[in-house]
Structure 1
Amino acid sequence: MIQEPASSAFTTGPHSGHAPGPAAEPEATRRDAGVTESARANRGWWDRNADEYQTEHGTFLGDDRFVWGPEGLDEVEAELLGPPEDLKGKEVLEIGAGAAQCARWLAAQGARPVALDLSHRQLQHALRIGGGFPLVCADAGALPFADGSFDLACSAYGALPFVADPVLVLKEVRRVLRPGGRFVFSVTHPIRWAFPDEPGPEGLTLSSSYFDRTPYVEQDESGRAVYVEHHRTLGDRVRDIVAAGFRLVDLVEPEWPAWNSSEWGGWSPLRGNLVPGTAIFVCARD
């Protein structure tokens, strides 16, 4: 959810440019946050902010586009899941689906998608737009599907940036894929964590260590986390993929296209022409 939780939810945290919810301004800090705390905080954040998110970004995302990130790379051109004509009849799981824009595009290609998200409110937006495919509210670390249920899985900024144990999620995705299946997911490019989350010139100066994996946490006055994002280096992501039993087929770093003049948190034409903002991992389940 640009997950989101941006598939259709690209990261929206302070390292991704989300606006605070209606409650008092939370305190931003870097501290440890485990699996349970991260899931609870992010479920609450997305339930509270889904309406604002869809209002602000719905036009860019569309109702039935498959966009991999704020750069605007579209699956119809990228074909990271394969040629569109080969998607017909494929059972596809979208993780961190938000309003299920990607699943809706997949359905239009003749695929049989299932859209899953941690946030009930995000899925209400998916239901509002419609599509006729199943919507499932569940944690990506405990997928409620039998082994080998899907041919393909995808996630555009869904789940992976927000979980404390990405290997657990990757293993779950591999479990529900059939042999020969593919999982493609996009996340904030790890290098972005070294820069301020600003789209202008002030966002071009290194401000923190790329190697600091301490989670970004927003917490209320009692110290309770209300939003969590987890940073992994590029090498960490590759090792996580391998540890989960996948084979890394490709790593795509979308360049900022000339047509895209929009800003989204720290993403912008200025930043995008100098620093990668998104990393897309194409993984095979042998």
Structure 2
Amino acid sequence: MLCGAKIWGAPHMWLVGAVARGSRTSSWRGQALLACIGVLALMLIASSWFARQAEAERIRAEASKDHAIAVLNTVQDIEIAALNALRGERGYLLTNDTSYLEPLNVDGQGGLALTRELTSLVKEDSRQLVVAHSVERDYRNMLTLLQSIVQAHKTGAKDEALTMVRTGEGRLALKKISAKLSQVAERETILLREQSALARDRAEASEAYQYVLSSAGLALMLLAGLAVGAVRRAVAAEARVRTELRRRAMTDELTGLANRREFMASLDRAVATAKRNGSPLA
């Protein structure tokens, strides 16, 4: 009996081990498949984040470009207004024609309003704001100087007016304003260049990541396909092993017949039925 148990038990233990190994293999491959799906999902989330960052930088670059254009246009308009104011003052002094005072009065006051507009445009940048305030102050001082020269000429103090012109203070004031406006324009150009470069770098990084994501996604899909195939094969093999295990559990290993215990139980039932019915055993 012990020998029979050993003979009967060894194949069954092997089958049980095979089922266990198949279950572990199937579980491992299933986990690998889930891991691939999880990694792909994380990469898609990262791709969305990169895309949003690139879009945000593009929007900021566009806003920076619009802001820079507004600042540069204002700088140019202030320079033109200051130059027209100085020309109006000189034209009146040379010709006594009051029509030359129009550029001084109109463009001069318009330029002063533009300096306040420039201050408002650059208020977010402390460095630019300091220079803009200085431009506004210098422009106001220049207008005051030009108007005092014109007033002296009007009241007949032409020698005094001529002396004030010869000091060159008006032209020096214009040069000072132009130099500071150039600082504002240069700084704004640098900021625009930096923002544009940042947006370009983000866009290139996002594009490169899209290529990496596509390649990794394709690789993960292939791995997922292989994992699915492996899981299906493992499940099928496990099913075959379980079927064989059930067959062996119902079969006598020595005779190849149905399990002897089941056979004896069936025989006892048949004998009892025959005795009860008084019929021969079939």
Higher relative contact order (CA 8 A, sep 6+): 2
Q: Relative to total residues, which structure has the larger strand share, 1 or 2? A: 1
TM-score by length of 1: 0.18
Larger radius of gyration: 2
Q: Relative to total residues, which structure has the larger helix share, 1 or 2? A: 2
